[in-house]
Amino acid sequence: MPGLYEVYETLKMIEKEHLDIRTVTMGISLFDCCDSDGKKACQKIYDKITKRAENLVKTVEAVERKFGIPIVNKRISVTPVSLIAGSSDAKDYTCFAEAMDKAAATTGVDYIGGFTSLVQKGFTKGDEILINSIPKAIASTRKVCSSVNVASTKAGINMDAVKKMGAVIKELAYATKEENCFGCAKLVVFANAPDDNPFMAGAYHGIGEPETCINVGVSGPGAVKAVLEKVKGEDLGTVAETVKRTAFKITRVGQLVAREVSALLGTKFGIVDLSLAPTPVVGDSIARILEEMGVEKCGTHGSTAALALFNDAVKKGGVMASSYVGGLSGAFIPVSEDEGMCAAVMDGALSLDKLEAMTCVCSVGLDM
């Protein structure tokens, strides 16, 4: 049982150190929406999403009020659309994205993910049509997110898919140039994409997942930095132990919310994704955590090692707190969303090559 001090410390994380539930994401299987008629399939998709997620937003808001824990986003992920649309006669899958977008607007969620293709070993007809549809589909919708898995540790890298996605990203950037190329922020290219990721733009409902489930993403870089300030000058073992203890508390908060939401909605509890995702707010930065660990400036010598140590400690702390840790569960290092990373780039300490190296030991970075 947690003591009063642990309860007080967790409350302090929420009130002063930017600890929040970054997302509650409902995964929905669409396999029963397959139809040889594309229009009928789109209607089935809209009907199923709006039926299954009709109470998602108000339930999450009720849980937020009950526990006093900020829940930033309410989202939906669906079965990769290339698997569903591949059985239809459609030659362009933009209509499927539009059905998803309409369903997202009806249910009131922030984003919907799953306009996805899994091509780590090769393309099916559905994969090719979906990838070719991405620029138009994402440019013409507001809430739809897309992802393409082009590689895995077991299968290797599909270099044809990598080449194709380079052209797709460029085309999407041009298609949304009036919006600062924002369409590219709703598309992610993955290696080893997890089936239960609750974070956008890479969320989709994997083929081995249940009919519906609730996955929660937790975040709190500010809380980690605050506790590291208390062990300044200590050895790396103490630093790792401190990060693990903090990750444990953060994960427990996420599990509490996930279980409550899934119970109220009558659906399965999936996973807690302990991904420490920064925001542009000062004090909510992964780069500042690395500097607190002893790195002079994020991007200089030792940054990759510090990030690897930090990521390892986060994962171990999360696994101790819950048997249901999944998703990406690691540090996010996007330059555009991290005040400390931006400062490191401006100072010339962080280069694209170094960012690429750092991305190899954590979850995501270059795509954000």
Closest CA to 340 of 352, 330, 350, 331: 350
Residue 306 falls within a domain, yes or no? Answer: yes
Residue 213 falls within a domain, yes or no? Answer: no
Assess whether 118 and 266 both reside in one domain: no
Residue 3 falls within a domain, yes or no? Answer: no
pLDDT value for 26: 92
Residue 125 falls within a domain, yes or no? Answer: yes
Here the tokens at position 5 are 């001090």
Assess whether 333 and 258 both reside in one domain: yes
Degrees to nearest 5, angle at CA 180 with 174 and 182:
80
Q: What DSSP designation does 164 have? A: H
Assess whether 47 and 177 both reside in one domain: yes
Across 85-112, b (16+ Cβ under 10 Å) vs e yields bbbbebeebbbbbbbbbbbbeebebebb
Assess whether 291 and 354 both reside in one domain: yes
CA–CA separation, 331 and 202 (whole Å): 15
Assess whether 185 and 254 both reside in one domain: no
From first to last of its 368 residues, what are the pLDDT tens digits of the chain?
A: 455 555 555 565 555 556 778 888 999 998 888 888 888 888 999 999 999 988 999 999 898 888 888 888 899 999 999 998 888 888 888 989 999 999 999 998 999 998 999 999 888 888 889 999 999 999 999 899 999 999 988 889 999 999 999 999 999 998 888 887 788 888 888 888 888 888 888 888 988 888 999 998 887 777 777 778 788 878 888 888 888 888 888 888 888 888 888 989 889 888 888 877 777 777 778 888 888 888 888 888 888 888 888 888 888 877 776 777 777 777 788 887 788 888 888 888 888 888 888 887 776 766 55
Residue 303 falls within a domain, yes or no? Answer: yes
Here the tokens at position 182 are 């924002």
CA–CA separation, 312 and 262 (whole Å): 29
Assess whether 274 and 353 both reside in one domain: yes
Residue 69 falls within a domain, yes or no? Answer: no
Assess whether 171 and 232 both reside in one domain: no
Amino acid at 41: A
Assess whether 183 and 227 both reside in one domain: no
Q: What is 199-244 written as a DSSP string?
A: SSSS----TTS-SEEEEEEEE-HHHHHHHHGGGTT--HHHHHHHHH
Residue 342 falls within a domain, yes or no? Answer: yes
pLDDT value for 10: 59
Structurally, the chain folds into a number of domains equal to 2
pLDDT value for 159: 94
pLDDT value for 218: 82
Residue that the structure tokens 């849980």 belong to: 63
Assess whether 116 and 183 both reside in one domain: yes
Q: What is 254-273 written as a DSSP string?
A: HHHHHHHHHHHHT-EEEEEE
Closest CA to 111 of 179, 53, 160: 53
Q: Which domain holds residue 308?
A: 220-359
Assess whether 88 and 42 both reside in one domain: yes
pLDDT value for 3: 52
Instruction: From 191, 210, 231, give the residue that closes a domain.
Output: 191
Assess whether 186 and 228 both reside in one domain: no
Helices 4-16 and 221-228: crossing angle, nearest 10°? 120
Assess whether 178 and 240 both reside in one domain: no
Residue 289 falls within a domain, yes or no? Answer: yes
Cα torsion angle, 69, 72, 76, 80, sign:
negative
